[in-house]
Amino acid sequence: MQILSASQLKQADSVTIQKRNILSIDLMEFAAQKCCDWIIENFKPNQHFTIICGIGNNGGDGLAIARILNQNGFKVKVLLPNFDGKKANDFLINFEKLKNTGVVLEEIKNTSEIYLQPNSIVIDAIFGIGIKKNLEGFLADLVLKINESQNYVIAIDVPSGLHPDKWMENTLNNTIKADFTLTFHAPKLSFLFPETGFFVGNFQVLDIGLIIEESNENHQYYFVDEQLISNIYKKRPKFSHKGLSGHSLIIGGSKGKFGAALMAAAACLKSGSGLTTIQIPSSAYPSLVVNFPELMVELDSNENYITEHPKKHYSSYGFGPGIGLEQETANVLKFLIHDKKFPLVIDADGLNILSENKTWLNFLYPHTILTPHLKEFEKLAQKSNNSFERLNLQIEFSKKYKVITVLKGAHTSIVGTDGNVFFNSTGNAGLAKGGSGDVLTGIITALNAQNYHPQQSAILGVYIHGLAADMALENCSIESMLASDVINNIGKTFKYINSL
């Protein structure tokens, strides 16, 4: 699904209203009903709600939600902060509809008048996507009062005070800290970064049937969903054989870090590569024989680190897990870069080698996949002040060097050579542990070997990686999850994707 900016969302609203021949109040009613459907499904009928409404369209949503919840037997109170500004027309319509329904309406002029019933769920419908600057004065006091309460908070579309796609120095003094956000069409860009996503909590995307027209913006943002994954995934034919699924080479490992390369190779095996070979320092051989009988092996003559070029050509290469920074190892990467005849994934110390030899970036084969975490990306590009700046750097970096950059995080961002950005929708904090990135390298390398376009390999690989972690939670906790748990669930993810 496409992630829209505030201006694009407003345009989509207008286009939808025009092409469906409906009024804006009709679209608002539909959005409110979608919110209520979710609330009715997730809360008991005796639950009390305190809905705080602004005077714009977000407040209109809140008033409509209050009316529908009241009709469905929920206890509802509406608080109307008294602040300057012209009331939106659809707000006024829903205000009139709410009169004489029995819903308690309280106008508040200062925060001392606000009483939040301890067990009441607060619904934040104060401000939506039209925010232009940080809240201050009475409105900031109102936000702080809500944030300091112990009440569970549900935000409608966006937490009040949070801009959907710009950095605004958000704090608990000027932005609602929601526990859950019900948002329309797609997550907003600000939901996907740690600094601003902090205010969003968990979120649910509600489809309100917006009609999206082609945008003139330079690049597009997408949230990876099942439909996109289903379109990418290739079902394996009945008469396929291992030769049709490619031969992958994982190059990695150094003294004390053999496990990283072994995990990458294991993930590659589990992800459909027809054949998988690992090139690893010779002293790691006993571990291979015992634990990975399916692997083919190229033993480096050096016992402790990689020194030799691959002995033959492969369909796909993964370079970097646990590989170290020795000069001879760096020369192997240099050889691979200049050979330029195959899909390549570079991770971990492979990225650190690149950051120390930045001129090599100019010679990378188009659509080479780089999989940095935050610090590795800063070494490759430069430091940034916030995630919005970092995303722009990532876009510029991918376009400049014609590479696919996979910046790992809670919503890993995959940027293609055209500057389009795909945010991942799977995964959990259990992946914040050593070895997770090595597993991802193996998955993507295997997909490259199976003739997926590298951008598809990156998008599908990151999705599989996260989904395997989500499935691993059936038998372990976030704290106890290991990279091997992720590997062991890769098969389940393919089975699920195959069913879509």
DSSP result, 293-352:
TT-EEEEESSSSS--S--SS--SEEEE-TT----HHHHHHHHHHHHH--S-EEE-THHHH
What pLDDT sits at residue 286? Answer: 79
Run of H or E including 95: helix 89-98
Q: Do β-strands 421-423 and 413-415 pair in parallel, antiparallel, or remain unpaired? A: antiparallel
Residue type, 274: G
Among 80, 104, 91, 72, CA closest to 28: 91
For residue 364, the 8-state DSSP code is: S
pTM of the model: 0.96
What pLDDT sits at residue 310? Answer: 94
Kindly give the residue spans of alpha helices, DSSP state H, lying in 106-191.
Answer: 137-148
Question: Is 3.40.50.10260 the CATH classification of the domain at 2-216?
Answer: yes
What pLDDT sits at residue 289? Answer: 66
Cβ atoms of 399 and 370 closer than 8 Å: no
> What is 226-499's CATH superfamily?
Ribokinase (3.40.1190.20)
Q: What is the largest CA-CA distance in the chain?
A: 85
Q: Would the CA dihedral through 272, 398, 224, 468 be positive or negative?
A: positive
Among 94, 99, 23, 97, CA closest to 55: 94
Listed range (31-45, 79-93, 377-391, 410-424) with the worst mean pLDDT = 79-93
Which percentage of the chain shows pLDDT scores above 90? 92
How confident is residue 218, by pLDDT bands cut at 50, 70 and 90?
Answer: low
What pLDDT sits at residue 79? Answer: 96
What pLDDT sits at residue 311? Answer: 87
CATH 3.40.50.10260 intervals, the chain: 2-216
- Tens digit of pLDDT for each residue in 297-355? 999 999 999 999 998 999 999 999 999 999 999 999 999 999 878 999 999 999 999 99
pLDDT of 212 strictly over 90: no
Residues 6+ apart with CB under 8 A from 495: none
Cβ atoms of 342 and 367 closer than 8 Å: no
pLDDT of 202 strictly over 70: yes
CATH 3.40.1190.20 intervals, the chain: 226-499
